[in-house]
Chain A
Amino acid sequence: MNEDVLIAGRIGKTGSWLHRFANPGRFLRLVRPVLPWLAILSLIITVTGVVWGYAFAPADWQQGDASRIMYVHVPAAWVSMAGYAALAVCSFFSIIWRHPLADLAAEEIGPIGAGFTFVCLVSGSLWGKPEWGAYWVWDARLTSVLILFFLYLGHIALIRAFDNPTHGHRAAAILALVGAINLPIIVFSVQWWNTLHQGNSISFTGGSKIYITMLYPLILSSLGFYLCFVTMVCARICAAIMERRTRSLLLAAAERGA
């Protein structure tokens, strides 16, 4: 896989750029200066999107004001799935190339992704009661998202279940990769099965069934949620790298003193 190739006039390994950016120290140097700006941007966009959806977006002709729940439910659902996809990618890098940064990222994505999935489930349930007459139905979409939540919880537990962290990361990476099969099931569940959950209203290839006065706050809210996810995960990865460095410095000092 890592064959010698000519990169910018020099001999290097295929994927060497990837390995260069997978260095925790380089990640820290690149991300730390950007982090405050990312946090401010995500705060502004999320607050704007959420307030727009809560107070200013028009009510749906059929659902009434209950449609406002969409502005937090749909972004949370998208981020929970994107988060799991990121977890699966990190797990892939961890298994194939043993990148320490991939292990760290997977460890920090898990709790945040589980939180967004929880928000998605609770807000969906609160929408279901007035619209369907029930907080929960064993519908294909709902059940597959509940499985996603359990996969996140399993990953969080498994990664911390071993005395040797390497074993934990490996076992959790296998779980994350196997669990990735759930993502297309969630996406296509509304097409494959006759579900109570409505079908896709938004299409990136055109033909969205949602009017722009509702689409714009939804896009803004989604962008804000994605930015919040990226900011929180990056901050947690940076914190984890610094915690490890502190531990190793303290250990080195103790060994010198002994």
Chain B
Amino acid sequence: MNLAPFIDGSYGITVLFLAGVGALTFARYRRAVRRLRAVETR
């Protein structure tokens, strides 16, 4: 049995999840910092 699709699939879903959630979290954090700064300096 060719195991590569199973191994690559497992690692693929993991990397996608970590990178995706990491990027979304970073974007939300940056947006929150920017908005708060804008409101505080208004």
Q: Is the pair B9, A246 in contact by a Cβ cutoff of 8 Å?
A: no
Q: A106–B2 Cα gap in the complex (Å)?
A: 42
Partner of B10 from the list A122, A239, A250 (CB cut-off 8 Å) is: A122
Tell me the bound Cα distance from A240 to B31 in angstroms: 11
Given contacts A239-B29, A242-B32, whether A66 and B17 have CB atoms under 8 Å apart is no
Write the nearest CB–CB distance from B13 to chain A, whole angstroms.
Answer: 5
**Are B22's CB and A123's CB within 8 A?**
no
* A239 CB contact (under 8 Å) in B9, B14, B28: B28
Secondary structure at chain B's binding surface: helix, strand, loop or mixed?
Answer: helix
Prevailing SS type, chain A contact patch? helix
Complex contacts, A249 vs chain B, CB 8 Å: 36, 39-40
Q: Which partner residue on chain B sits nearest A245 by CB separation?
A: B36
Q: Which A53-85 residues have a C-beta within 8 angstroms of B?
A: 54, 64-66, 68-69, 72-73, 76
Number of interface residues, chain A, beta carbon within 8 A: 38
Residue of chain B at shortest CB distance from A69 = B10
Q: Are A232 and B22 in contact (CB under 8 A)?
A: yes
Given contacts A69-B7, A242-B32, A130 and B1 within 8 Å (CB-CB):
yes
In the complex where A69-B6, A228-B22 touch, is A123 in contact with B39 (Cβ < 8 A)? Answer: no
**How far, in Å, is B8 (CB) from chain A's closest CB?**
9
Which chain A residues in 124-172 approach chain B with CB under 8 Å?
126-127, 129-130
Interface range, B side: 20 to 34
Please list the residues of chain A having a beta carbon within 8 angstroms of any beta carbon in chain B: 35, 39, 46, 50, 54, 64-66, 68-69, 72-73, 76, 112, 115-116, 118-119, 122-123, 126-127, 129-130, 228, 232, 235-236, 238-240, 242-243, 245-246, 249-250, 253
- 28 residue pairs from A and B, CB less than 8 Å apart: A35-B29, A66-B3, A68-B11, A69-B7, A72-B14, A73-B10, A112-B21, A115-B17, A116-B17, A123-B10, A123-B14, A126-B10, A127-B6, A127-B10, A130-B3, A228-B18, A228-B22, A232-B22, A239-B25, A239-B28, A239-B31, A240-B32, A242-B36, A243-B35, A245-B36, A249-B39, A253-B39, A253-B42
Which of B's residues lie within 8 Å of A, judged by CB? 1, 3, 6-7, 9-11, 13-15, 17-18, 21-22, 25-26, 28-29, 31-33, 35-36, 39-40, 42
